[in-house]
């Protein structure tokens, strides 16, 4: 598998410059980024610490364990390291004061109250601290070509793992066995990490949308839902397939057909300009009208990228509109407590005229 080194060789200087533009950053302003996914997105750096971005220069504030890594991964930033008696925020304060910064912006969902209070106590009263306006997350909604390539690769690795696992699953295995084989296969075939903990849910366990694979033994006639994804070069894939091990019941077969139809109809509706709640309701209304009202409890899908769940969401509560370059999952499900569940999920690229699914494996019911 090809390896991708996002963050090497100046790749991120355009990102930092775009961030400066997006925030309309002034010479007296500083942006303190503490969420690892935003630090990575903007600078390329994957380790611990903070990114302090100023109009004229950006800094990675970290410790000696990460010094060399930060210099390699974020060559466009200056790396500064804490030492005994000098904390991350002491270093931030020195940079802030030496650049005559009067306004510091932080991530409202990135700093703990303890961190906020420590920073406040260190800075002079005439330096304000306030929440930034979600600019990194806003930028992350639209993926560039490099990001799309990484997500495609992550999806490809995930699909290879699916092709492998359908030849492996047998009645008598536990969910945990299937999970270990799937995860191991992804790691051996190009995954740097897993995008999230793999879900394997068999039989009645399938009614839990986020089931944790356990010692449940897969029985003949069970449906098995597998929700998983590789992470490659810092970017996630997300896919779900439900397969039958032996002939399923007529009831579960009908559930499968309904979910598949809802999935296909919703996917067809993906297009730049489509409203997120409208796409959600295509799948939801179909499932409701098929007699499963209330059995599809979660949203239809979500965006993904550096994180497995990003904005926007395909959900009734969303007010977002799809744009070209967004990556969205489409994952309707039906969950029947005590009986089982079905979910079918693709990761899709939204385009000007429609969409392109990055998950190239069969959706019609596979009976193993
Ligand atoms: Mn998902």
Between the CA of 286 and the centroid of ligand 1 the distance, in Å, is 20
The pLDDT value given to residue 96: 98
Between the CA of 83 and the centroid of ligand 1 the distance, in Å, is 41
Q: Please report, for the chain, the start and end positions of each structural domain, with discontinuous segments joined by +.
A: 13-139, 145-357
Between the CA of 11 and the centroid of ligand 1 the distance, in Å, is 28
- Among 184, 155, 151, 153, CA closest to 168: 184
Q: Which single residue is written with the structure tokens 């510091």?
A: 104
Cα–Cα distance measured from residue 48 to residue 28, given in angstroms and rounded to the nearest whole number:
26
- In the chain, % of residues over pLDDT 90: 96
Cα–Cα distance measured from residue 264 to residue 108, given in angstroms and rounded to the nearest whole number:
38
pLDDT band per the 50, 70, 90 thresholds, residue 11: low
**pLDDT, tens digit (0-9, with 9 covering 90-100), for 204-237:** 999 999 999 999 999 999 999 999 999 999 999 9
Are residues 11 and 44 in contact, defined by beta-carbon separation less than 8 angstroms?
yes
Between the CA of 217 and the centroid of ligand 1 the distance, in Å, is 25
Between the CA of 302 and the centroid of ligand 1 the distance, in Å, is 7
Between the CA of 347 and the centroid of ligand 1 the distance, in Å, is 8
**pLDDT, tens digit (0-9, with 9 covering 90-100), for 248-304:** 999 999 999 999 999 999 999 999 999 999 999 999 999 999 999 999 999 999 999
Domain 13-139 shares a fold with domain 145-357: no
Between the CA of 341 and the centroid of ligand 1 the distance, in Å, is 15
Between the CA of 51 and the centroid of ligand 1 the distance, in Å, is 29
Are residues 171 and 220 in contact, defined by beta-carbon separation less than 8 angstroms?
yes
Between the CA of 117 and the centroid of ligand 1 the distance, in Å, is 36
**pLDDT, tens digit (0-9, with 9 covering 90-100), for 122-146:** 999 999 999 999 999 999 999 999 9
Give whole-number Cα distances, 134 to 80, 85, 104, 128, 129, in Å: 25, 32, 14, 18, 15
Between the CA of 134 and the centroid of ligand 1 the distance, in Å, is 22
| 145-357 is a CATH 3.40.1480.10 domain | no
Class of domain 13-139: alpha beta
Between the CA of 331 and the centroid of ligand 1 the distance, in Å, is 7
Between the CA of 245 and the centroid of ligand 1 the distance, in Å, is 23
pTM for the full predicted model: 0.94
pLDDT band per the 50, 70, 90 thresholds, residue 13: confident
**pLDDT, tens digit (0-9, with 9 covering 90-100), for 236-249:** 999 999 999 999 99
């Amino acid at each position: 598998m090809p390896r991708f080194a996002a963050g090497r060789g100046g790749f991120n200087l355009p990102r930092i410059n775009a961030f400066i533009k997006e925030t309309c950053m002034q010479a007296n302003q500083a942006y303190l980024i503490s969420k690892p996914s935003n630090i990575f997105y903007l600078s390329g750096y994957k380790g611990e610490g903070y990114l302090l971005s100023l109009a004229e220069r950006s800094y990675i504030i970290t410790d000696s364990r990460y010094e060399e890594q930060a210099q390699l991964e974020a060559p466009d930033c200056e790396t500064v390291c804490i030492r005994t008696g000098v904390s991350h925020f002491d270093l931030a304060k020195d940079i802030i004061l030496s650049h005559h910064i009067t306004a510091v912006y932080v991530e409202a969902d990135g700093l703990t109250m303890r961190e906020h209070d420590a920073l406040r106590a260190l800075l002079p009263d005439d330096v304000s601290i306030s929440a930034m306006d979600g600019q990194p997350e806003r930028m992350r909604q639209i993926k560039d070509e490099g990001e799309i390539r990484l997500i495609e690769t992550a999806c490809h690795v995930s699909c290879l793992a699916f092709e492998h696992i359908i030849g492996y699953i047998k009645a008598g295995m536990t969910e945990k066995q299937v999970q270990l084989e799937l995860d191991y296969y992804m790691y051996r075939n190009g995954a740097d990490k897993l995008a999230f903990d793999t879900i394997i849910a068999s039989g009645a366990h399938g009614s839990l949308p986020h089931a944790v694979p356990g010692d449940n033994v897969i029985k003949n006639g069970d449906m098995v839902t597998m929700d998983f994804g590789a992470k490659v070069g810092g970017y996630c894939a997300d896919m779900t397939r439900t397969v039958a091990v032996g002939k399923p019941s007529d009831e579960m077969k009908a559930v499968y057909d309904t979910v598949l139809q809802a999935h296909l109809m919703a996917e067809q509706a993906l297009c730049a300009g489509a409203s997120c709640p409208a796409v959600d309701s295509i799948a939801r209304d179909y499932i409701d009208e098929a007699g499963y009202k209330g059995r599809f409890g979660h949203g239809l899908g979500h965006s993904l990228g550096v994180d497995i769940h990003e904005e926007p969401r395909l959900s009734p509560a969303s007010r977002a509109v799809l744009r070209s370059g967004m990556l969205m999952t489409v994952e309707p499900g039906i969950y029947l407590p005590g009986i089982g569940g079905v979910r079918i999920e693709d990761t899709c690229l939204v385009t000007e005229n429609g969409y392109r699914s990055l998950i190239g494996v069969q959706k019609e019911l596979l009976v193993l």
